[in-house]
Amino acid sequence: MKFLLRIIGLLLMLLAFDAASFNMETKEPQFAKVKPAQRASWLRKYPELASGPYAVLIRQQDTPINLINLADTINRYYLSIKEISKQNRHTVKVLLTDRVEANHLTQNPTFTSTYRVYVPCRNVEIDGIVDEQGLNSTDLLKHGVGKFKKTIVDSVHIIRCSQLAKYSSEQNKYLPAQGLRVTFAGTILPDFIEYKHVLIPVRLFIPKPQLNNLIKKQQHPRNNPKKINHTRVTSIIINKTVLPRSNHSSLFLSWCRCFVMRLELKTIGEKLST
């Protein structure tokens, strides 16, 4: 009897193994998402000409943030701490008056091994758009460099480069659009990209709010939804919720702090170029 039970058990194991191998062979391959081309050696840090105070963000990953314990550890390492504040449940903002200490904090293994520690991108990066046809994001990252009309201003590195996308209401998905979004080191937008001795004009990248739920986000007004122009409204499904797409008037964009900040940076760049 025991012998028969063992044989039945072996047969069941063989059947289970065959079924598993069959599923593995017939399973469709999984394709990884294509990421923007990015300079591998780039690490966000404040340059020598940056003005303080210098902000560094600490964001939790797996371990929850204990603000008091974290503040005690930071104060033991750095003397130029001006302020430590909690931005939200997952993020702590540290203001330092010393640039070297701020850059060191982003690489300190005491914190980076547990949390994500980084400099806010708006403090050390700026985005532009190039519309020239035939450009490849990988080649542009490898051979391109940001240039200014004034030759006394140093050229800037390209950090990231990605293909722009445009939403298609007919296909209900984003499709590749003409132009590349290019991220430069620094906070002044260069006038050109020099790519294989060709000067390609660069214009400022301005993120366009498209969904109503973005009003709740920090860079948009919380209590001014009437400033949205709903002349063209189409519906798309995001996370099983129907959200209207809309165009935003210039009056609404004037409330967007991200938009205003980028215009100010563009004005500074134009003054340097003249």
What pLDDT is stored for residue 169 in this prediction?
Answer: 83
- Sheet containing strand 173-185, edge to edge, reads 37-38, 158-168, 173-185, 125-130, 203-204
Per-residue pLDDT, averaged over 33-60, amounts to 77
Q: Rounded to an integer, what distance in angstroms lies between the CA atom of residue 99 and that of residue 125?
A: 16
Q: CB under 8 Å to 19, separation ≥6 — which residues?
A: none
What pLDDT is stored for residue 16 in this prediction?
Answer: 57
Per-residue pLDDT, averaged over 253-257, amounts to 52
Contact 257, 214 (CB under 8 A): no
Residue whose structure tokens are 């969904």:
211
Q: What is the DSSP code (8-state) at residue 211?
A: B
- Check pLDDT > 70 for residue 234: no
What pLDDT is stored for residue 132 in this prediction?
Answer: 86
Cα 104 to Cα 63, 78, 116, 124, 203: the distances in Å are 22, 9, 14, 15, 33
Within the chain, how many helices (H) and strands (E) appear? 8, 14
Q: Which residue has the higher pLDDT, 178 or 82?
A: 82
Q: CB under 8 Å to 200, separation ≥6 — which residues?
A: 130, 132, 135, 192, 193, 194
Structure tokens at 230: 């709903």
Structure tokens at 26: 């017939």
Q: Which residue has the higher pLDDT, 71 or 1?
A: 71
- Check pLDDT > 90 for residue 8: no
Could you report the per-residue pLDDT of 206-219, keeping only the tens digit for each?
A: 876 655 444 444 44
Could you report the per-residue pLDDT of 52-111, keeping only the tens digit for each?
A: 799 999 999 888 889 999 999 999 999 999 999 999 889 999 999 999 999 999 999 999
Per-residue pLDDT, averaged over 187-210, amounts to 86
Mean of the per-residue pLDDT values of the chain: 73
What pLDDT is stored for residue 167 in this prediction?
Answer: 81
What pLDDT is stored for residue 67 in this prediction?
Answer: 92
Look at residues 125, 114, 117 and name the one whose alpha carbon lies nearest to residue 91.
117
Q: Which residue has the higher pLDDT, 179 or 240?
A: 179
Percent of the chain whose predicted confidence (pLDDT) is above 70: 60
| Per-residue confidence band for 221, with pLDDT thresholds at 50, 70 and 90 | very low
Contact 128, 47 (CB under 8 A): no
Contact 71, 86 (CB under 8 A): no
What pLDDT is stored for residue 245 in this prediction?
Answer: 36
Per-residue pLDDT, averaged over 26-55, amounts to 65
- Check pLDDT > 90 for residue 38: no
Could you report the per-residue pLDDT of 14-25, keeping only the tens digit for each?
A: 555 554 444 433
Domains of the chain: 54-123 (3.30.70.330), 125-204 (no CATH)
What pLDDT is stored for residue 264 in this prediction?
Answer: 67
- Check pLDDT > 80 for residue 6: no
